[in-house]
Amino acid sequence: MPHRSSHHRPAAEQAFLAEYDASRYPHPSVAVDVVVLTVSEGALHALLIRRGDHPHKHRWSLPGTFVGISESLDDAADRVLTGKASLPGVFLEQLYTFGAVHRDPRTRVISVAYIGLLEIDRLRRALGELESPVLARLRVPWAGESGGPIEAVGPSDDSLPLAFDHADILGMSVKRLRGKIDYAPLAYEFLPAEFSLRMLQDVHEAILGRTLNKDAFRRRLLASGDLTPTGRLQTDVGHRPAEFYRYGHTRRSRST
Amino acid sequence: MPHRSSHHRPAAEQAFLAEYDASRYPHPSVAVDVVVLTVSEGALHALLIRRGDHPHKHRWSLPGTFVGISESLDDAADRVLTGKASLPGVFLEQLYTFGAVHRDPRTRVISVAYIGLLEIDRLRRALGELESPVLARLRVPWAGESGGPIEAVGPSDDSLPLAFDHADILGMSVKRLRGKIDYAPLAYEFLPAEFSLRMLQDVHEAILGRTLNKDAFRRRLLASGDLTPTGRLQTDVGHRPAEFYRYGHTRRSRST
DNA sequence: TGAATAGTGTCTATAAGACAATATCCC
DNA sequence: GGGATATTGTCTTATAGACACTATTCA
């Protein structure tokens, strides 16, 4: 969220902070939280973990970890996925850093949020090994890219109480996804290597939260040159089978 | 930059970090750096400060500060502007968090970068009070939104040596600006309250690093409904004077 | 009057929405 | 064959680029 710098502060506070010495004053803790997103049944879902301890005991939170003193932020985000869920090779991108003073009631924790995108089947397989996590459907109460906190709902449409400012982090991740889906190849992260145009459109619609024009979607994506037809067709579908495509630039013939 | 989570780490390291206790292990320092941007003479410029101390003595760096233990990130970014340069009310937005382990050779410093946008005249007035800062023109070696580090050049087109990873931070800020200029009202931050369409187009061109079609730009901006004509005209311009506009939705008549 | 830039009108090319027609699979 | 969805083609509409023309100011 953009803001405007505030009006003047007391000169004493300015002087104090200008003299701030990194080694003499207490440092905040720095954590990374990862919004692990997937698309299932036409809707975005996020991976949540039920907290066993205070604060926010029994609320649901994003998987995360503290950042080691000799570990980059990206590596810490990796570690959340490769450690907890054995999920190497997942698309990860830094989202936003949440730094309100009292966002964690215990102590000062600044959290660098990441988004991780992956296919539902792969995520489910990795989750099979674990106990507490749940895939919660996201309910977005705003249209377009307005932004703001969003809800996570359980299997029976019950709203799951979220820990800390994680409703804001989830909201920011959906906003980011919506803003980038039209020009960045994010949707393919939610799909297997080969997919039909309808599957791709379903992913776009789940992210955007609205239906799209089928003809225009087809034309636009095929014209982009980012899709390579595989020649393979769907089977056992009870109607004309769709062709499968693969993400990647079509090789242009050398002679033309 | 998106990345992919790496392959498995040694179980011992995972176990160690999983047990990481915020109170027992050293915390990184957290700083904010602000990319203060303005548009002058058809080009983006950023505020840089010559470092007087090691490391990177005599190199140029972004204005920044450490984050206080009871201070939000946004407040720390405010303080950089209201403290050092007496610039309250400036548009500030969080950009990205830079967390490579050795980005600062002294100790572990994670830096949350912000962008601050303001009008050239206002910035110059505030700078008059100070000594070391300079407004450096930005030279962007990539087109569109490819991203990557960029150069800052002095008055005689000499490249200024930048401290730390500040060339990357500057590059990220230009990339962000280019990505948002078409749908967010960023350009107006670089202009006085009343401006001509040509002045607005000049700002867009400076940000995008390329010329735009004049007719299409006019049509698009006027059709957006975001501009209110003031009725006032330029004076002393040696050619037909342009009308001044103001940013803000045109009030619609109640009867129509 | 001439130089210079603002602003308007028109034509064309491209992309999106709407809709109809045909294709192909399983039952 | 019938149901269902994929795929293709055409028409219409909105928007962007190109270009020509008119308008207004100061020197």
Lowest mean pLDDT among A13-22, A104-113, A178-187, B116-125: A13-22
Q: Looking at residues B155-162, what average pLDDT do you find?
A: 94
Residue A93 has pLDDT above 80, yes or no: yes
CA-based nearest residue to B198, from B211, B214, B210, B184: B214
Nearest residue in chain B measured CA to CA from A115: B2
More confidently predicted of A125 and B32: B32
Instruction: Say whether pLDDT at A240 is over 70.
Output: yes
* DSSP H stretches of helix in A9-127: 11-18, 73-84, 120-127
Average the pLDDT over B5-31 and give the result. 62
User: What pLDDT shows up at residue A10?
Assistant: 46
* Partner residue opposite A93 with nearest CB, options B2, B7, B65: B2
Q: How far apart are CA B99 and CA B28, in angstroms?
A: 10
Using alpha carbons, select from B105, B93, B97 the residue that is nearest to residue B31: B97
| Closest by CA position to B140, among listed B49, B205, B91 | B205
pLDDT at A14 over 90: no
**For helices A73-84 and B11-18, what crossing angle results, to 10°?**
100
In this structure, of A105-114, B80-89, B212-221, the range with the lowest mean pLDDT score is B80-89
> How many beta carbons lie within 10 A of that of residue B155, not counting itself?
9
Instruction: Note whether A82 contacts B7, CB cutoff 8 Å.
Output: yes
Tell me the chain B residues in contact with residue A89 when contact means C-beta distances shorter than 8 Å.
Answer: 4-5, 7
Q: What is the DSSP code string of B103-170?
A: SSSSS-EEEEEEEEE--HHHHHHHHTT-SS-EEEEEE--S-TT-----EEE-TTSPBPPBPTTHHHHH
Write out the two tokens for A246. Answer: 């693969």
* pLDDT higher than threshold 80 for residue B9: no
Q: Do A82 and B109 touch (CB under 8 A)?
A: no
The mean pLDDT of A152-162, rounded to a whole number, is 95
Distance B219 CA to D16 C1' (A): 10
* A81 in B contact zone (CB under 8 Å): yes
The whole-model pTM stands at 0.90
Place of tokens 């950009």: B95
The confidence score (pLDDT) of residue A6 equals: 65
Average pLDDT of chain B to the nearest whole number: 89
Query: How confident is the model over B123-134, as pLDDT tens digits?
Result: 999 887 666 789
Which of A13-17, A93-97, A152-156 shows the lowest mean pLDDT across its residues? A13-17
Q: Is the pLDDT of residue A254 over 60?
A: no
Distance in Å, alpha carbon of B20 to nearest chain A alpha carbon: 7
Q: Which residue is nearest to nucleotide D7 (CA to C1')?
A: A242
Residue B113 CA to residue B82 CA, distance in Å, equals: 16
Query: What positions of strand D are covered by protein, i.e. any atom < 7 Å from a CB?
Result: 3-10, 15-20, 23-27
How much of chain B is helix, strand and coil, in % rounded to 5? 25, 25, 45
Q: In the prediction, which pLDDT does B250 show?
A: 57
* Residue A86 near chain B (CB below 8 Å): yes
Among residues A126, A32, A121, A49, which one has the least CA distance to residue A85? A126
Chain A positions in Cβ-Cβ contact with residue B93 (cut-off 8 Å): 1-3
Look at A46-50, B6-10, B126-130 and tell me which has the smallest mean pLDDT: B6-10
Q: Which of A4, A24, A28, A10 is nearest to A102 (CA)?
A: A28
**B144, B160 contact by CB (below 8 A):** no
**Residues on chain B touching A7 (C-beta within 8 angstroms):** 82, 88-89
Q: What percent of chain A has pLDDT over 90?
A: 76
Asked if the Cβ–Cβ distance from B83 to A14 is below 8 Å, we say yes
Q: Which nucleotide's C1' atom has the smallest distance to the CA of A218?
A: D7
Beta strands A64-66; A29-40: pairing state: antiparallel
**Phi, psi angles (nearest 5°) of residue B13:** -65, -40
Strand B151-153 with B134-139, pairing: antiparallel
Round the CA-based radius of gyration of chain B to a whole number and report it. 22
Question: Which of A9-13, A111-115, A123-127 has the highest mean predicted lDDT (pLDDT)?
Answer: A111-115
Residue A82's φ and ψ, nearest 5 degrees, are: -75, -30
Confidence of residue A83 (pLDDT cuts 50, 70, 90): confident
Output the pLDDT for position A7: 52
Residue B28 to residue B73: CA distance in whole angstroms: 15
Using the predicted structure, report yes or no on whether residue A11 has a pLDDT greater than 60. no
Q: Is A237 exposed, middle or buried (0-12, 13-18, 19+ CB in 10 A)?
A: exposed
Output the pLDDT for position B7.
53
Token pair recorded at residue A155 = 């299997």
Q: Which residues put CB within 7 Å of chain C, the nucleic strand?
A: A 212-213, 215-216, 219-220, 223, 233, 235-241; B 196-198, 215, 218, 237-243
Please name the amino acid found at residue A29. Answer: S
Q: Does B110 touch chain A (CB under 8 A)?
A: yes
| Chain A residues near residue B27 by CB distance under 8 angstroms | 27-30, 69
Lowest mean pLDDT among A19-28, A166-175, B70-79: A19-28
Nearest residue in A to B34, CA atom = A5
Question: Of A9-13, A232-236, B49-53, B172-176, where does mean pLDDT reach its minimum?
Answer: A9-13
- Does pLDDT of A39 surpass 50? yes
Q: CA–CA separation, B96 vs B172, rounded Å?
A: 8
Quickly state the pLDDT bin for B230 (edges 50, 70, 90).
very high
Q: Average pLDDT, whole number, for chain A?
A: 89
pLDDT at A250: 57
Q: Which residue is nearest to nucleotide C4 (CA to C1')?
A: B239
CA distances from B170 to A252, B6, B104 (A): 36, 27, 16
Query: Are A110 and A100 within 8 A, CB to CB?
Result: no
**pLDDT for A19 beyond 60:** no
In this predicted structure, what is the pLDDT of residue B109? 97
Contact B93, B114 (CB under 8 A): yes
Residues of A in contact with B66 (CB under 8 A): 17, 20, 22, 25
- Strand C bases near protein CB (under 7 Å) are 3-10, 15-20, 23-27
Asked whether the beta carbons of residue A99 and residue B1 sit closer than 8 angstroms, the reply is no
Contact B217, B204 (CB under 8 A): yes
Percent share of chain B, pLDDT over 70: 88
Residue A215: enclosing H or E segment and its boundaries?
A: helix A214-224
**Can you spell out the DSSP letters for B8-61?**
PPPHHHHHHHHT--TTTSPPPEEEEEEEEEEEETTEEEEEEEE--SSSSTT-EE
Query: Which residue approaches D8 most closely, CA to C1'?
Result: A215
Exposed e or buried b per residue across B130-147, where buried means at least 16 C-beta atoms within 10 angstroms of its C-beta: eeebbbbbbebeeeeeeb
Kindly list the residues from chain B whose CB atom is less than 8 angstroms away from the CB atom of residue A99: 30, 67, 72-74, 112
**Chain B residues with beta carbon closer than 8 angstroms to that of A68:** 17, 20, 25
- Give the pLDDT score at A253: 37
B71 touches chain A (CB under 8 A): yes
Q: What pLDDT score does A251 carry? A: 47
Task: List pLDDT tens digits, range A212-230.
Answer: 999 999 999 999 989 999 9
Q: Determine the average pLDDT of the residues in A12-25.
A: 52
Range A25-30 average pLDDT: 92
Q: Is A181 left (phi over 0), alpha (psi -120 to 50) or beta?
A: alpha
Mean pLDDT of A230-235: 92
B12 against A175, higher pLDDT? A175
Which of A18, A92, A108 comes nearest B4 by C-beta? A92
CB B171 within 8 A of CB B44: no
Check pLDDT > 70 for residue B185.
yes
Decide: residue B36, CB within 10 A, 0-12 exposed, 13-18 middle, 19+ buried. Answer: buried
> Residue A211 gets which letter from DSSP?
-
Cα separation, A248 vs A191, whole angstroms:
14
Per-residue tokens: A138: 């996201």
**Portion of chain A with pLDDT greater than 70, in percent:** 88
Supply the pLDDT for residue A252.
43
Taking only residues 17 to 56 of chain A, the set having a beta carbon closer than 8 angstroms to any beta carbon of chain B reads 17-18, 20, 22-23, 25-30
Closest residue to B3, CB basis, from A2, A18, A74: A74
Question: Two tokens at A9?
Answer: 């502060």
pLDDT at A214: 94
* Mean pLDDT, residues B57-62: 95
Find the mean pLDDT for residues B174-197. Answer: 96
Q: Flag whether pLDDT at A17 surpasses 80.
A: no
